[in-house]
Structure formats: C-alpha cells, structure tokens
Chain A
Amino acid sequence: MQDQPTALERFINGILPENPVYRQLLGMCPTLAVTGGMKPAITMAGATAFVLILANIIISLIRGLLKPHLRILVFTLTIATFVTIVDRFLAAYLYEMSKELGPYVPLIIVNCLIISRVEICASKQSVGVAVADGVGMSLGFALALASIATVREILGSGTWFGLQVLGEGWPAWGIMVLPPGAFLTLGLLLGGAEWYGQRRSRRLVRAGG
C-alpha cells in the first residue's frame, strides 16, 4: 500500500498538523479535567502515551488475525487491559497523583484518541509505523495538555509545576483552576490555534497564487 503515510510522516503528523486536541478535538474529557496544574497534566499525558503506544504495538502485531466484526471487541479489550495496568502502577508508585487524577485514568479507555489511532493506523500498518504514530500523537497530546495547564496553573495559582512563578502579590484567579476556567482556556486556545492555522493557509494560498 504505497499511499499510506510512512513512520516519519505519522510521527510528525501527530505533534502539530493532526494534533489530537487542537485539530482532531479528541480526548476532551481529560484535557479539561486534569489541566489545573502541570503535574497532573504531564502524568496524564504519560499514562495516555503508555496505553496508546502499547496498544498500537499489540494491535499492529495481530493485525493480520483481526476479523472485521470482532475487531472493536479486541481493541477495547486491549486498551482496557493496559489502562488497568497503568492505573495500578500509578496507585502503587505515585499514590498521591493517582488520587488526584481519580477516575480520569480509567476514563482513558473511552478516550476517542486511542481507539481512533488503533483503528486508523495500528490495525493497518506495521509495528514500526504504529509506534511512530503512537509516539507522535502522545507528544501532540502532551503538548496540548501542557499548554492548557501552563495557562491555568500560572494564572490560577501563580505556580508552575508547583514552583512559585508569579510574585506573592498576585491574586490567584481561582476560577482558572475550577471548571469554568478549563472551558474558557481551552476555548480561547482553540480559537488561537484555529486563527493561526487559517492565517498560515491564507498566506500559503497567497504565496502560491
């Protein structure tokens, strides 16, 4: 299949051009929920990366054996298993963070990002490409989470990764750490990404024409 993207293309795609949050609008639930601070955001990105990359590997290895009407079942089983593993791992070694992330780690199972990558890439291409896709998408996801968490944590608590960044006199915008702040930040950043993308395409059109 010559028209399928290569590993390198998959990898680069996942970071910005087809960024899971800003371009594909997938995985909104954790994006809004755990971005109150950088630490939970990065932990969640790591957990999602673990599940995505391993699920991609397994599904890619058995892609020849998948039957069309049972494949969703297989995908779900694989993803749920890896999510359980990462959840238990966090509870064992990062207990406080596990409690803070709460139900959002198991919710990775229904994160549309993973099912869609498995369906689009891993079930059709070799392990190498699947891994590249997984890593690229994970980086893109981490980037997205980090961008939102940075805004919310700095404005909302004056800290970044728990370290005081803004002076003591900064009146913390509590709303940023609360649900409304999550929605507003994501909405505005999405608007910003959209605006930037449209400017680029307009410039490209002008340069071409």
Chain B
Amino acid sequence: MVRAAALAQVGKGRGIGDGMELLSSLILIFISAALINNFVLHYFVGICPFLGVSRRVDTAFGMGLAVIFVITIASFLSWTFTYFILRPEAPIPVWVWRVVGGSPETTVDLSVLSYIMYIFVIASSVQFVEMYVRKFFQPLYDSFGVFLPLITTNCAILFACLEIMKHLQDPTRLWGLGEALTLAIGGGVGFTIAISLMAGIRAELDLCDVPRSLKGAGIALIVAGIMAMAFMGFTGVDRGVERAITALVGG
C-alpha cells in the first residue's frame, strides 16, 4: 500500500532558497504573463472589452490601468484567502478544526468554495476601485460610464485568481505573495498593451474600406489573429532571459 511520509519538513516548503532565484522567477513570470502568454492574445481572457474597446488610445489605456488596479487588489485578496483558508490543509481551517476537537486524521479542505470566494472578491475589488475613482478622479469616472462595473465580468481577473489558485495546490511548490502579484500585474500590463494596440489599429481601420460583413467584430477578430501571430514571436524569450540571468548570477 501507499504511505505518504511525514510532511513536517514541508513547513518551510516554499522552496525558494535563494533571493536571486526568486527575482529571476519573478522576472520570468512577469514577461510570460505580459508578452509571451499574453492574457488576451494567448489565453483568450478579457476578449469582450478588447473587442468593444474605443477607437481612442488614451481611453483604452485608461481602461487598461483600471484593470491593472482591480486585478492587483483582487489577486492580493485571492492569494491571501486561498493561502490561509481555501487550499487543502490551509492553516486557519486546520486550526479551527483542531480547536473544536475534530479528529486530526480528516483532511480539511475548503477549496470547493474557491470560485464563489473569488467572484465575490472581484466584485468587491471593482466596487472599491469604483468608489476610489469616483471620489478622486471624477472626470475619469464619468468617461468610463458603465465600463467600470463591467470589469467584474472581465475574464482576465478571474483567470489571474485561478492561476494563483493552481499554484497553491502542491505544498512543496507554493507561490508566495510576490509571485502572485507579479502574475497579476504582468497580466494586467499585457492586457493594457493589447487593448492599446487594438484601439490604435481600430482608429486607423475606421478610415479603411472594410467589407460590410466584416465591419465591427469580424475585422477586429482578424486583426487580433494577426496580433496573436506577432506575439507568438515572443516565444522562447523567457528561456533566453532565464539563461541570461543564470549566467549573470553565475549559478
């Protein structure tokens, strides 16, 4: 039969021993999320705002910044809740279970509540950002209109939370808050790059002779396909960066 050995040693199981290794890991995560595995052009999340984005680059850029803001807050909260409460054998539920006298043999696992938790975290983050923007950047808030609350349904944010959850499952390879935030910000930056580019292209497209059936979403998707091809050119960049960093550190 199968026996699992004592996980007592896993207490310090983050496994990132070296500071430089962490930095290299963060840089790779950032580049991967922003360019190589761009959230919009590779993972297909955040398509709705991407297709419906305005023709003005500055509005698109502002939307991108709002998304970066929301995604960072949401990911911070997601990581915290997942690390301490939602992952299998998380510290707080285990402690509570022991306090109420539960048997130490049962596995304590609240991960089934993860998705519900994430969507509420995201809705709250959007509310928070909305209040903040309305108070301090009134004109910006007015120009956003209905788009700000719609960020709640932006797949990109939930996707970031899900990726973070994925990396909090194996006790021997847990992501710290640093990695989680880097992924979130990198993803947000990638999203901003993609929609800013798209807005600029669409501004030009309006002056072109697009076939009637392709006007609107059709041509936007074809342009997105070409952009996706262009971004595929970034493949392998992270490997090169990894090698460069390793050589630099001499390890």
Contact = CB atoms under 8 A, between A and B. Distances in A.
Interface stretch (B94-102, B137-145, B183-191, B215-223): B215-223
A180 B213 contact: no
Contacts of A164: none
Given A180-B226, A188-B218, A198 B212 contact: yes
Interface residues of B, number: 42
B224 interface: yes
A195 interface: yes
B177 interface: no
Q: Which of A32, A77, A81 has the most CB of B within 10 A?
A: A32
Binding site of A, secondary structure by majority: helix, strand, loop or mixed? Answer: helix
Interface string A61-89: 00000000000000011001101100110
Contacts of B119: 76, 80, 109-110
B214 A191 contact: yes
Interface string B38-75: 00011111111001000000000000000000000000
A190 B218 CA distance: 6
A80 B119 CA distance: 8
Interface stretch (B20-28, B84-92, B158-166): B158-166
Interface in B217-247: 217-222, 224-226, 228-229, 232
B117 to A, nearest CB: 9
Contacts of B228: 178-180, 182-183
Contact of A192 (B123, B166, B213): B213
Contacts of A84: 112-116
Interface string B191-225: 00000000000000000000111100111111011
Binding site of B, secondary structure by majority: helix, strand, loop or mixed? Answer: helix
A187 B153 contact: no
A194 interface: yes
A109 B115 contact: yes
A62 B124 CA distance: 25
Interface in B114-166: 114-116, 119-120, 123, 152-155, 158-159, 162-163, 166
Nearest to B212: A198
Nearest to B215: A194
A88 B222 contact: no
A178 B44 CA distance: 11
Interface of A: 25, 28-29, 32-33, 76-77, 80-81, 83-84, 87-88, 103, 106-107, 109-110, 112, 115, 175, 178-184, 186-188, 190-192, 194-195, 198
16 contacts: A28-B48, A29-B45, A29-B155, A80-B115, A84-B114, A84-B116, A88-B112, A103-B163, A107-B45, A107-B155, A107-B162, A109-B119, A182-B44, A186-B221, A192-B213, A194-B212
Interface of B: 41-48, 51, 112-116, 119-120, 123, 152-155, 158-159, 162-163, 166, 211-214, 217-222, 224-226, 228-229, 232
